[in-house]
């Protein structure tokens, strides 16, 4: 690892607009028009807070670090506020940061000889950094975007920080190549998933801290119909059901004869579609009344086991607290659960206290009248 005197040089890149489209139902944040639309709908930047959660894990070693970053919201503001020693490698162009700013920052951090680059963003950010520096420098991603298919990301922000610390302390010094995946967001918003491999980057071999590449969502029809039948027979009248994205949950609305959205969040009451593809604010208006019974139906991301914080950010911390853990219905076919190889389910809402509350164990519907108790971790 490159050192400057007695310090270790690392790089930090924050994509300030990462994840803006999540809570307002835009399925991503790629493109200036989408960013402006997200902000107009009331979206709030979250990447800096996720980065702060990761960097907090480096508190005990920060005196031995010099952090190379870009000015402003791409790293400087957060790092200086947290007391890190900062070296500015450059400044983004005027206005909102762009993919070009991310790429140039990655190249300048590489050229500065950093031991590792920690970055906050989504699959688009990972793709930009991969295009800029390829396999030149090990990286660890802090999941802050809507789409997190790439295996260069930690399972959550805290684990990103832990992975960095272990790597710098030599506890996990080995690196391996990890896939950088991204999807066509325009097709995604039309309900069609088209993922593609864009390359590989080096990541520390860090056990449970790093996530796996998202697996195929193919499941056996009989398994799926069993899950659907169980959930529908248990649905109660005068109860509002928040139905998250995914092929498993879409099968529920299909069986009810409703035009649900594959990649958005819908609300169903009395077997009727109350609202489709809602934003977080729209969802809150539908469920904020404490007198109205509300439940959440979600499925897991195949191969990763994520419950909240990946593609369903519309189901925000305030909505999860309003509903409560006991009213969350988790669905997953046996095939999806088997693909986890006994790894726990993961919650990464961006609210560390809530993630802790949701951890422990939860019931998962895996077939008709067939449920299992499965561990959940933050």
Q: Could you identify the residue written with the tokens 């409560």? A: 324
**Amino acid 95: pLDDT:** 66
**Do 243 and 265 form a contact (C-beta atoms < 8 A)?**
yes
**Exposed, middle or buried: residue 221 (CB in 10 Å: 0-12, 13-18, 19+)?**
exposed
Alpha-carbon distance 308 to 298, whole Å? 9
263: nearest Cα among 209, 206, 312, 331: 312
User: Residue 27 contacts by C-beta under 8 Å, 6 or more apart in sequence?
Assistant: 21, 146, 147, 185, 188, 189, 263, 264, 311
Alpha-carbon distance 42 to 224, whole Å? 36
**Amino acid 45: pLDDT:** 67
Structure tokens at 358: 């949701």
Backbone angles phi, psi at 219, to 5 degrees: -140, 160
Element (H, E) at 12: strand 7-14
Backbone angles phi, psi at 299, to 5 degrees: -120, 170
Query: 123 has which bridge partners?
Result: none
Each of the 378 residues of the chain gets a pLDDT tens digit; together they read 444 447 899 999 999 888 654 454 444 455 556 555 545 555 566 889 999 999 999 999 999 999 999 999 999 999 999 999 999 999 998 767 889 999 999 999 999 999 999 999 988 899 999 999 999 999 999 998 776 878 899 989 999 999 999 999 987 678 888 888 876 555 454 555 455 677 889 999 876 788 765 544 434 677 788 899 999 999 999 999 999 988 889 899 999 999 988 888 999 999 999 999 999 999 999 999 999 999 999 998 777 788 998 889 899 999 999 999 999 999 998 888 888 888 899 999 989 999 999 999 999 998 887 888 999 998
Element (H, E) at 197: strand 195-204
Structure tokens at 42: 């009331």
315: nearest Cα among 305, 303, 323: 323
DSSP 3-state of 355 = helix
Long-range contacts of 321-328 (CB under 8 A, 24+ apart): 321/354, 322/287, 322/288, 322/290, 322/294, 323/242, 323/287, 323/294, 323/295, 323/296, 325/357, 325/358, 325/362, 327/294, 327/295, 327/296, 328/295, 328/296, 328/298, 328/362
User: Residue 159 contacts by C-beta under 8 Å, 6 or more apart in sequence?
Assistant: 208, 209, 210
Backbone angles phi, psi at 58, to 5 degrees: -100, 5
DSSP 3-state of 115 = coil
**Do 9 and 86 form a contact (C-beta atoms < 8 A)?**
no
């Amino acid at each position: 690892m490159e050192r400057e005197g007695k310090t270790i040089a690392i790089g930090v890149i924050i994509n300030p607009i990462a994840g803006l489209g999540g809570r307002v139902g835009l399925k991503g944040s790629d493109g200036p028009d989408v960013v402006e639309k997200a902000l107009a709908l009331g979206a709030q930047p979250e990447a800096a807070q996720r980065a702060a959660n990761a960097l907090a894990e480096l508190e005990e070693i920060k005196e031995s670090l010099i952090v190379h970053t870009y000015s402003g919201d791409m790293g400087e503001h957060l790092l200086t506020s947290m007391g890190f020693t900062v070296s500015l490698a450059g400044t983004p162009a005027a206005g909102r940061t762009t993919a070009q700013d991310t790429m140039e920052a990655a190249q300048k951090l590489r050229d500065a000889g950093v031991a590792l680059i920690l970055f906050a963003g989504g699959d688009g950010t990972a793709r930009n950094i991969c295009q800029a520096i390829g396999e030149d420098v090990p990286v660890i991603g802090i999941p802050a975007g809507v789409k997190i298919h790439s295996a260069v990301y930690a399972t959550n922000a805290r684990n990103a920080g832990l992975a960095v610390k272990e790597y710098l302390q030599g506890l996990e010094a080995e690196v391996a190549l990890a896939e950088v995946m991204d999807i066509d967001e325009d097709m995604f918003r039309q309900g069609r998933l088209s993922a593609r491999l864009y390359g590989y980057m080096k990541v520390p071999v860090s056990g449970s801290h790093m996530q796996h590449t998202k697996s195929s969502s193919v499941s056996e029809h009989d398994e799926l119909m069993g899950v659907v039948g169980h959930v529908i027979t248990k649905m109660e009248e005068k109860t509002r059901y928040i139905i998250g994205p995914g092929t498993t949950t879409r099968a529920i609305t299909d069986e009810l004869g409703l035009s649900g959205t594959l990649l958005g969040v819908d609300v169903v009451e009395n077997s009727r579609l109350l609202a489709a593809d809602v934003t977080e604010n729209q969802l809150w208006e539908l469920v904020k009344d404490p007198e109205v019974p509300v439940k959440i139906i979600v499925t897991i991301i195949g191969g990763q086991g994520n419950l909240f914080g990946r593609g369903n950010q519309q189901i925000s911390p305030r909505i999860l607290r309003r509903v409560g853990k006991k009213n969350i219905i988790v669905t997953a076919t046996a095939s999806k659960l088997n693909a986890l190889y006994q790894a726990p389910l993961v919650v990464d809402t961006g609210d560390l206290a809530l993630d802790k509350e949701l951890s422990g164990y939860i019931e998962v519907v895996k077939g008709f009248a067939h449920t299992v108790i499965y561990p959940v971790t933050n």
